[in-house]
Amino acid sequence: MQETVDAYSLAQMNRNGEITGCVVDGPLSYDVAMSAEIARHKGVEGLHSGDYDVLVVPSLATGNILGKSWSVTAGAIMAGMIVGAKVPIVLTSRGATAE
Q: State whether 3 and 37 are in the same domain.
A: yes
Q: State whether 24 and 39 are in the same domain.
A: yes
Q: State whether 7 and 37 are in the same domain.
A: yes
- Give me the amino acid identity at 54: V
Q: State whether 78 and 91 are in the same domain.
A: yes
Domain that holds residue 10: 1-54
Q: Per-block average pLDDT, block size 10, for the chain (99 residues)? A: 94 97 94 95 88 89 90 84 82 75
Domains: count for the chain:
2
Q: State whether 90 and 47 are in the same domain.
A: no
pLDDT at 20: 97
pLDDT at 29: 94
Q: State whether 50 and 64 are in the same domain.
A: no
Q: What CA–CA distances, in Å, run from 87 to 13, 24, 46, 84, 92?
A: 27, 26, 37, 8, 16
